[in-house]
């Protein structure tokens, strides 16, 4: 019988994200625009990395490639042990449903759906259906302190509550990686710190890796480390 410690699929130390010499180049007229320039990054299984850089530095491009929204021009991308570098658009759609959670700057909750329904809509596209999806949604809402708000619409929730619903939605598919885009940009310092504490607690307790895109230097101490990006060049 083989030693299970040698099985890569059961190795808890396996990184959740590997970017290896990744480039993203856009053709603009007669010239090439390099949005990401030979970026290399490895994020451990429960590591939180703050990605810091000015507007136009390549933060969004890097996260879009890590999340399977964009394909790299060159380089290797592995998420949760799955190499997605050469995936087709259809394969990337399935990958995003199964392996990645997103929390956008504007939260992007569906305004006419309740908090619970905003979680359930994720698994209408994913692998759960019916009772298992409802059970998962109720479990997450309870863990996030939102059980009493499950039937409320986003407009009836506070900014912090909406962020918690967005985090719950990102966790519905048991992702290997969650990508946060400026999660505290519209919040005051106190509420921003509460949201970052929540992100830290939820990611660590579940063993899920996260990249947090932020301009807010006050919040980077909640991350395990900081990666800086400028003009498409990553310094991790």
Domains of the chain, earliest start first:
4-235 (3.40.50.300)
pLDDT score, position 11: 53
pLDDT class for 219, splitting at 50, 70, 90?
Answer: confident
Average pLDDT, the chain: 88
Report the C-alpha gap between 46 and 128 in whole angstroms. 24
Task: Name the burial class of residue 88, with classes exposed (0-12), middle (13-18) and buried (19+) by CB atoms within 10 angstroms of its CB.
Answer: exposed
Report the C-alpha gap between 136 and 143 in whole angstroms. 11
For 48-91, what is each residue's pLDDT tens digit? 999 999 988 999 999 999 999 999 999 999 999 999 999 999 99
Name every residue whose Cβ is closer than 8 Å to that of residue 18 and which is 6 or more positions away in sequence.
41, 42, 76, 77, 78, 79
With a cut of 60, say whether residue 9 has pLDDT above it.
no
- The CA angle 215-26-230, to the nearest 5 degrees, is 30
pLDDT score, position 226: 96
pLDDT score, position 125: 55
For 95-122, what is each residue's pLDDT tens digit? 998 899 999 877 789 999 999 999 998 7
Report the C-alpha gap between 39 and 21 in whole angstroms. 5
């Amino acid at each position: 019988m083989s030693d299970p410690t040698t099985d890569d699929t059961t190795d808890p130390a396996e990184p959740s994200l590997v970017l290896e010499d990744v480039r993203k180049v856009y053709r603009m007229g007669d010239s090439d625009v390099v949005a990401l320039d030979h970026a290399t990054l490895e994020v451990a299984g429960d590591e939180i990395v703050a990605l810091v850089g000015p507007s136009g530095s390549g933060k969004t491009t890097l996260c879009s490639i890590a999340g399977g929204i964009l394909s790299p021009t060159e380089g290797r991308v592995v998420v949760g042990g799955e190499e997605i570098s050469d995936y087709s658009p259809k394969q990337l759609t399935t990958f995003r449903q199964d392996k990645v959670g997103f929390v956008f700057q504007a939260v992007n909750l569906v305004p006419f759906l309740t908090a619970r329904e905003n979680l359930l809509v994720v698994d209408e596209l994913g692998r759960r259906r019916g009772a298992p999806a409802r059970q998962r949604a109720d479990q997450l809402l309870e863990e996030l302190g939102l059980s009493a708000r499950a039937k409320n619409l986003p407009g009836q929730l506070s900014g912090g509550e909406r962020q918690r619903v967005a985090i719950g939605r990102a966790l519905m598919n048991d992702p290997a990686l969650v990508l946060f885009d400026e999660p505290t940009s519209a919040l005051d310092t106190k509420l921003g710190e509460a949201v970052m504490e929540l992100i830290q607690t939820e990611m660590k307790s579940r063993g899920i890796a996260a990249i947090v895109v932020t301009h807010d230097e006050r919040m980077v101490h909640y991350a395990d480390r900081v990666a800086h990006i400028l003009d498409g060049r990553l310094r991790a």
